[in-house]
Amino acid sequence: MTAPTADAATEVHDPAVLAWASDLLDRAGGPRAMQQAVIAAVERNARWRGEECLNLLAPEAPMSPTVRALLSAEVGQRAAEGHIGPANRWFAGTRHIDEIEALCVELLKRVFGARYADHRLVASMIGNLAVYAAMTEPGDAIMSVTQPFGGHSSNRGDGPAGVRGLYIHDVPMDPVELEVDLDAFSDSARRIRPKLVALGASMTLFPFPVTAMADIVSEWGGRIFFDGAHQLGLIGGGQFQDPLREGAAVLTGSAGKTFSGPQSGVIVWDDPALTVPLTDAIFPTLAATHQVNRVAALAAAAAEFFAFGQDYMAQIVANAQALAGALHERGVPMLAAHKGFTRTHQAIADVTAFGGGEAVANRLAEANIITNKNLIPTDPAAAWDRPSGLRIGTTEVTRWGMKEGEMARITDLIVDVLKECRPVEAVQRDAGDLRRSFPTLHYCFAPEA
């Protein structure tokens, strides 16, 4: 059972980590021990990331116990390709799967106030590809946000938009306000006449002027596509702009980011003319067996939004503002200080003075504080792999019940690491203590007995 060795020059994964795994399997002495090695790694992660770390990674959110439990439901091993309803399925036996999926669709429609929703996106990336497949032709021009301003690869040349063969132009952004430069946009958009303008971003602090931009592109029949991967929960909880009401034709989002459901995608829209192209792009083009356990978990997460979404999402934003304000006061330069730092779950620091994004994120992780390096607008394009920024998100700590007071304590711990005030081990201990003093997930129903 030794593995054939890959050509080291073409291997994209870290060869040292693969060699560690291969060696472990060689020494395991049998399949059962191999399986135990997998389980042990999962348990090490659960202990460290689940119990000892302050997870401030913006794309993460803890699922409620009910939602998480549904991921191992019996239905996760059932196959149900196609649209909902017995006439639309290739496979028999889908009676209750139709019920689960219909509940999910109807819940998503209610949370987002949309006429149509789809539940079959195993990733939000795939939702974006469905949008490009349905709403563009190869060779069309689109506009999207560049990475230093928070844009995501899925709307750029190295993602689904590029795969579709689109000409991708930049949405002009104001580097100080961190919002769309509407004057520059109206000039360049009228010149380019994009079929689609993709808004939304991974580094996201402020709303986009969707209405004004939709008005401009409507002059030539262009549409706005809002990629709300990060903001999906904030939108569902009424704490951010409401893209569909403001004129976006379609909204996609990640179910596992602020929305706090299972990692996967959501897509909603209102225009009946888009229904056949979008759903055709999803099935049979991009989804087949679409993980019905995940659909059940997504539906359960959507139901939580009616009870808890507003309070949960409002506290996430309040915590991000508190954290950003406290860090700025302690000498960590935060973006958009002149305008209240953020209207989302994120705060962005310029950590150039502390060694740059990568070094700082690694030092914080040593201290059990998990963040990520991030490009910021002042980063030159050539330095894409050495970003100056640090992105901090408050979704998870908020769901553990932390409020503004704890944001001050987290600030102290971050500053201790950045300014090397105390040994890393001491900060690590305090981070673990703070995490463990909030043992219960909030904004969810008690699990069914």
Ligand X SMILES: *Cc1c(COP(=O)(O)O)cnc(C)c1O
Site for ligand X, residues 58 to 87, rule: CB under 6 A: 59
Q: How far is the CB of 68 from ligand X (least distance, A)?
A: 17
Q: Whole-angstrom Cα distance, residue 192 to residue 114?
A: 30
Q: Whole-angstrom Cα distance, residue 223 to residue 114?
A: 17
Query: Which own/partner pairs from 70-77 qualify as long-range (CB within 8 Å, at least 24 positions apart)?
Result: 70/262, 70/293, 70/296, 70/297, 70/300, 71/262, 71/293, 71/294, 71/297, 72/293, 73/293, 73/296, 75/100, 75/292, 75/293, 75/296, 76/291, 76/292, 76/293, 76/294
Site for ligand X, residues 9 to 38, rule: CB under 6 A: none
Q: Which is nearer to ligand X, 58 or 434 (CB)?
A: 58
119 near ligand X (CB under 6 A): no
Whole-angstrom CA distances from 415 to 349, 412, 420 are 12, 5, 8
Site for ligand X, residues 240 to 259, rule: CB under 6 A: 254
Q: Whole-angstrom Cα distance, residue 278 to residue 4?
A: 42
Q: How do 54-55 and 173-174 pair as beta strands?
A: unpaired
Instruction: Tell me which of 192, 229, 298, 348 binds ligand X, using CB under 6 A.
Output: 229
Interaction mask 259-288, ligand X, x per CB under 6 A: ------x-----------------------
Site for ligand X, residues 181 to 210, rule: CB under 6 A: 200-202
298 near ligand X (CB under 6 A): no
154 near ligand X (CB under 6 A): yes
332 near ligand X (CB under 6 A): no
Q: How far is the CB of 137 from ligand X (least distance, A)?
A: 22
Whole-angstrom CA distances from 37 to 1, 28, 49, 221, 262 are 16, 8, 18, 56, 25
Cα dihedral across residues 284, 286, 289, 292: positive or negative: negative
230 near ligand X (CB under 6 A): yes
Interaction mask 348-387, ligand X, x per CB under 6 A: ----------------------------------------
Stretch that binds ligand X, among 83-91, 121-129, 354-362, 427-435 (CB under 6 A): 121-129
Q: Which is nearer to ligand X, 230 or 363 (CB)?
A: 230
Applying CB under 6 A, the residues found at the interface with ligand X are: 59, 123-125, 128, 152, 154, 200-202, 227, 229-230, 254, 265
